[in-house]
Amino acid sequence: MAQAQQAKAQKITPRAKDFSEWYGDVIMQAQLADYSPVRGCMVIRPHGYRMWELMQRALDDLIKATGHKNAYFPLFIPMSFLAKEAEHVEGFAKEVALVTHTRLRATGKEGKDAIAVDPTSALEEPLVVRPTSETIIYAMFAKWIQSYRDLPLLMNQWCNVVRWELRTRLFLRTTEFLWQEGHTAHADEPGAEREARTILDQVYRRFAEEWMAMPVITGVKTDSEKFAGALRTYAIEALMQDNKALQAGTSHNLGQNFAKAINVQYQTTTGGLEYVWNTSWGVTTRLIGGIIMTHSDDNGLIAPPKVAPVQVVIVPIWKADDEKGQVSGVGGRVKADLEKLGVRVEHDIRDTMKPGAKYFEWEALGVPVRLEIGPRDLASGQVVLARRTGGKGPVPLQGVVASVTKALDEIQSSLFIAAKERREQNSIRGATKAQFLEFMNGKGGFVYGGFCGSGTCEAEIKQETNATVRVLPDPEFRSKEAPKTCMWCGKSSIAEAVWAQAY
């Protein structure tokens, strides 16, 4: 058994050896996703998709609780629409997929030449496969918004988008991905600003920290990192175990840029015409990559209980057949009791596998709690509860449900605390240029430092260290003493910035 376990464990490259290999191995062993025949696109497997569904459900509830309604808009956007907002077209032009024809025809030849594009089916205007939907959604807003009474208009859509990526990585950067995109229209600037912040603070940050157990820094992006066409972009940023930052969600105050480009106007209370103020915001399946890189270990995935596809696995242990009946009978009852409380449970009664091999499999799948039910423990009225995050011991069979739910709660909060401690241990404040360079060339992490606001400094730093300003942090995250000078050029600082190498 021990040998078999070891052989299996070796399928996952240790983090210390190669973080990127480890990441891919965890995904494969946890059966979250797989590479597809289409380059750059991934297949989300049932275990990964279940996790996405759970995340989606929680996020959707938060989005609706803040007053938004779901709708659905077309996958295709006329090419001319994308060109309407100058910065926006610039930002997305290099990565769009285009539909130019609508038919194939049989050629009468064989093999891969048997079909060809029908040249007579060329579209008059090519269609862009949506990389994001501002232009098409605001074209509809223009139709639906007449007066101040129609505002604010608060919408969200769950869909897929396509951005043609050359270098892809499962969940983190794929050509097609799943996301939600919120789009809103407001009567004035404060309305849009409030909205952008509400989404960041009350939806995205809350979801990241309370469901994913992933602590984030909130703040505003610099001009060079903001969304193409936005007035301001806010973001939540998390630090992964390899000390690279993950931009986990963005919320944009779009100002009136799109409204002016697309002509979305409303009649004011005094009868005049005004352009609306828009916001847009999104999080994607990239969040699953964030969960993996925040919590998992060399044995595989560690899923925070709130988004774990399976929260508890019950493994009965038996030698003789009469024992099997007894332990699996108890297992079945415990499963039913847990399910009554809404706990997601599997009862692994496969007799083709030894318990140790089962433990390994469920560990790799990230299941937070395992219950081992054996005849000896049952004789003394107990079962064994093992936590994916470490620690195992007997708990009384009477009251096992309470022990399990308590363990799930504790795992959820301990994951968050551990991730936050790790982030703080890998952050430095008030760094000099020399310290910054040493840090970025070494283990990396978050560096808080003064920033003059100049794009030149940003470009030089990126060139030399590959680090970027993740955010100009909100007050809660700022250093006690505001930096006086730019960490890079020594000119006076206009804001403290958080720097890191990022995904």
Structure tokens at 230: 């936005």
Angle at which helix 433-441 crosses helix 455-465, to 10 degrees, equals 40
Supply the minimum distance, in Å, between the C-beta of residue 227 and Zn ion.
Answer: 23
Task: Count Cβ neighbours within 10 Å for each residue of 426-449 and write b for 16 or more, e otherwise.
Answer: bbeebbeeeebbebbeeebbbbbb
Give the β-pairing of 369-373 and 312-316: parallel
Q: How far is the CB of 499 from Zn ion (least distance, A)?
A: 12
Residues 283 and 58 sit within 8 Å (Cβ to Cβ): no
Enumerate residues 75-114 that contact Zn ion by CB under 5 A.
Answer: none
Q: Least distance (Å) from Zn ion to the CB of residue 493?
A: 8
**Of residues 477 and 488, the one with the C-beta less far from Zn ion:** 488
Q: How many residues lie near Zn ion (CB under 5 A)?
A: 6
In the complex, minimum distance from the CB of residue 467 to Zn ion, in angstroms, rounded to a whole number: 14
Q: What is the spatial distance between Cα 42 and Cα 48, in angstroms, rounded to a whole number?
A: 11
Nearer to Zn ion, 420 or 429 (CB): 429
How crowded is residue 469: how many other Cβ atoms within 10 Å of its Cβ?
A: 24
List the one residue out of 375, 359, 408, 391 whose CA is nearest residue 383. Answer: 375
β-strand 446-451 against 176-186: which pairing, if any?
Answer: unpaired
Closer CB to Zn ion, 359 or 488, in the complex: 488
Interface positions, 295-324, toward Zn ion (CB under 5 A): none
User: Least distance (Å) from Zn ion to the CB of residue 235?
Assistant: 21
CB of 450 to Zn ion, least distance (A): 8
For the bound state, the minimum distance from the C-beta of residue 10 to Zn ion, rounded and expressed in Å, comes to 48
What is the nearest approach in angstroms of Zn ion to the Cβ of residue 451? Answer: 6
Q: Judge contact between 118 and 124, C-beta under 8 A.
A: no
Nearer to Zn ion, 397 or 495 (CB): 495
Question: How many CB atoms neighbour CB 270 within 10 A?
Answer: 7
Please say which residue, 369 or 457, places its beta carbon nearer to Zn ion.
457
Closest CB 469 distance from Zn ion, rounded Å: 11
In contact, 502 and 221? CB cutoff 8 Å: no
Spatial neighbors of 362 by CB under 8 A, at least 6 apart, are 310, 313, 315, 346, 348, 370
* Gap between the Cα atoms of 340 and 453, Å rounded: 56
Residues sharing a CB contact under 8 Å with residue 213, sequence separation 6 or more, in sequence order? 294, 295, 304, 306, 412, 413, 415, 416, 419
Q: Enter the tokens of residue 267.
A: 């009649």
Q: Count of CB atoms within 10 A of residue 387's CB?
A: 16
Nearer to Zn ion, 357 or 494 (CB): 494
Residues 443-462 close enough to bind Zn ion by CB under 5 A: 452, 454, 457
| Smallest separation, CB 454 to Zn ion (Å) | 5
Contact 372, 317 (CB under 8 A): yes
First to last CA, the chain: 39
Token representation of residue 490 = 């020594």
In 264-320, alpha helices (H): 286-295
Nearest approach, Cβ of residue 477 and Zn ion (Å)? 20
**Rounded-to-integer distance, Cα 446 and Cα 59, Å:** 27
**DSSP per-residue codes, 128-148:** EEPS--HHHHHHHHHHH--BG
Residue nearer to Zn ion on the CB measure, 446 or 488: 488
Nearer CB in complex with Zn ion: 352/463 = 463
Length of the chain: 503
Smallest separation, CB 268 to Zn ion (Å): 42
Identify which of residues 299 and 435 has a Cβ nearer to Zn ion in the complex: 435
If the CB atoms of residues 288 and 461 are measured against Zn ion, the closer one turns out to be: 461
The distance of closest approach from Cβ of residue 245 to Zn ion in the complex, given in angstroms and rounded to an integer, is 20
436 or 503: CB nearest Zn ion? 436
Contact string (CB under 5 A) for Zn ion, positions 401-440, x = contact: ----------------------------------------
| Using rule CB under 5 A, residue 494 touches Zn ion | no
Q: Given the complex with Zn ion, which of 310 and 487 has the nearer CB atom?
A: 487
- Where in 474-493 is the site for Zn ion (CB under 5 A)? 486, 488-489
> What strands lie across the sheet with 312-316, from one edge to the other?
345-347, 312-316, 369-373, 382-387, 392-396
In the bound state with Zn ion, the residue whose beta carbon lies nearer, of 334 and 457, is: 457
Residues at the contact surface with Zn ion, assessed by CB under 5 A = 452, 454, 457, 486, 488-489
